[in-house]
Amino acid sequence: MRAINYDKDQKTSTLYFDEVPIPDPDSDEVLIRVHAFGLNRADLLQVRGQYPPPAGASEIPGLECSGIIEEVGENVTKWKAGDHVCGLVDGGAYAEYCLLDSGMIWRKPEGASWVEAAAMPETYLTAYQALYQLMDVTTMERVLIHAAASGVGSAAVQLLSDLDIKKWGTASGPKIDFCLDRGYDAVIDYQKYSFLEKVMGWTGGSGVDGIVDVVGGDYFQDNIKALALDGTLVMLGLLSGVQAGQVNILPLISRRLTIQGSTLRSRSVSYKRELVRGFLDRFHSKIQRGELKPEIYKNLSWADSAQAHDLMRQNKNSGKIVLSIQ
């Protein structure tokens, strides 16, 4: 089969078509013929050697895809050849065929395209995990989502749509209308304003109950200052770097804060199956009714993978970039 590969000795991110064997499903896996796969920030890091796949995972990039089941492993009873599905993988989605754990897939919604279905698993599960598992957003009154227009940020606001809660975000100026149109109550242009000052102004100095952050180092001090009593910071990314300078940690104690970091890809199979189950328990009917739909910034052919990586690296996208296998 054809797959997109990259130079493992890198420092460059040259992507190229490779010819590799079609993998065989293990007993709990399904093999799908891939129609589309979503691009994620992690892919950019992986092809530059900064985010190697976990042990046992495919070295081919790609964390999510949609397609048609070709073959099922001997223990798989819920799925059969011909089923249209999408799901989460540790790697291997940039290929004509991909193996998925049978507990990490769901049926492609009737009204969704292959592109939309491929854009869901990684970002929705990440946002769900942050909001409903690593913090309990159902008990909160105000949350702040950094990089609100990102794949993760645009999924997060949809997962909050039924909650009577203030949904605030940060984004660069050109993306603010995108975020407001998609459910954020207010979005701070972080290139012009301090999010800490805005949040403290809006809350009369009391802060927000939860923050989902992918920016990391540059935001760490202001994040802990912006949290309310008993607030939770969930850290998922380090887009600005890993150093946080001279941090005053007093708010951790005086405001009884919780800081929770996570990375989805390296979680165990059982954890991820449970995560998918929890996500579907809460959101399955909305997904199938088409009420949860990923924002597609661009759909390109997988022959244009390098161009797609450039777009994401330059922070051009609002929502998801998806590549179709043609």
Q: Which residue has the tokens 């990089």?
A: 147
From 33, 19, 25, select the one nearest 114 (Cα to Cα): 33
Radius of gyration of the chain, Cα coordinates, nearest whole angstrom: 20
Contact between 214 and ligand NAP (CB under 6 A)? yes
Rounded Cα gap, residues 249 and 145, in angstroms? 21
Can you read off the two tokens belonging to residue 32?
Answer: 């799908």
Q: By CB under 6 A, is residue 46 in contact with ligand NAP?
A: no
What span, in angstroms and rounded, lies between the C-alpha atoms of 174 and 179? 10
Binding residue (CB under 6 A) for ligand NAP from 89, 157, 308, 312: 312
Q: How far apart are CA 282 and CA 270, in angstroms?
A: 18
Closest to 326 (Cα-Cα) out of 301, 306, 309, 299: 301
Which member of 112, 149, 224, 233 binds ligand NAP (CB under 6 A)? 149
β-pairing, 320-324 vs 296-301, is: parallel
Q: Which of residues 85-124 bind ligand NAP (CB under 6 A)?
A: 122-123
Cβ distance to ligand NAP smaller for residue 166 or 175: 175
Q: Is 317 in the site for ligand NAP (CB under 6 A)?
A: yes
40 is a contact residue toward ligand NAP (CB under 6 A): yes
Helix axes of 217-226 and 195-202: crossing angle, nearest 10 degrees: 10
For tokens 């951790």, the residue is: 252
Q: Is 239 in the site for ligand NAP (CB under 6 A)?
A: yes
Residue with Cβ nearer ligand NAP (30 or 236)? 236
Q: What element of type H or E holds 222?
A: helix 217-226
Q: Does 294 bind ligand NAP (CB under 6 A)?
A: no
User: Is residue 311 within 8 Å of residue 38, measured between CB atoms?
Assistant: no
Sheet holding 258-261, edge to edge: 186-189, 166-171, 142-145, 208-213, 227-235, 258-261
Pick 140 or 156: Cβ nearer ligand NAP: 156
CA–CA distance, 14 with 8 (Å, rounded to integer): 10
Q: Is 166 in the site for ligand NAP (CB under 6 A)?
A: no
- Does position 133 interact with ligand NAP (CB under 6 A)? The reply is no
CB atoms within 10 A of CB 57: 15
Segment interacting with ligand NAP (CB under 6 A) among 16-24, 28-36, 92-100, 258-266: 258-266
315 binds ligand NAP per the rule CB under 6 A? yes
3-state secondary structure of 274: helix
Please report how close the Cβ of residue 67 comes to ligand NAP at its closest, in angstroms: 20
Identify the residue among 76, 171, 188, 276 touching ligand NAP (CB under 6 A): 171
Work out how close the CB of 311 gets to ligand NAP at its nearest, in angstroms, rounded to a whole number: 9
Residue number, 25 or 216, with CB nearest to ligand NAP:
216
Single residue of 126, 299, 305, 324 touching ligand NAP by CB under 6 A:
126
Please give the residue whose beta carbon sits closest to ligand NAP in the complex. Answer: 237
* Min CB(164)–ligand NAP separation in Å: 26
Of 25 and 121, which has the nearer Cβ to ligand NAP? 121
Contacts of 302 (CB under 8 A, 6+ apart): 4, 37, 94, 323, 324, 325, 326
Residue 150 Cβ vs ligand NAP, minimum distance, rounded to whole Å:
3
Segment interacting with ligand NAP, rule: CB under 6 A, options 95-103, 104-112, 192-200, 232-240? 232-240
Binding site for ligand NAP (CB under 6 A): 40-42, 122-123, 126, 147, 149-152, 171-172, 175, 214-215, 236-237, 239-240, 262-264, 312, 315, 317
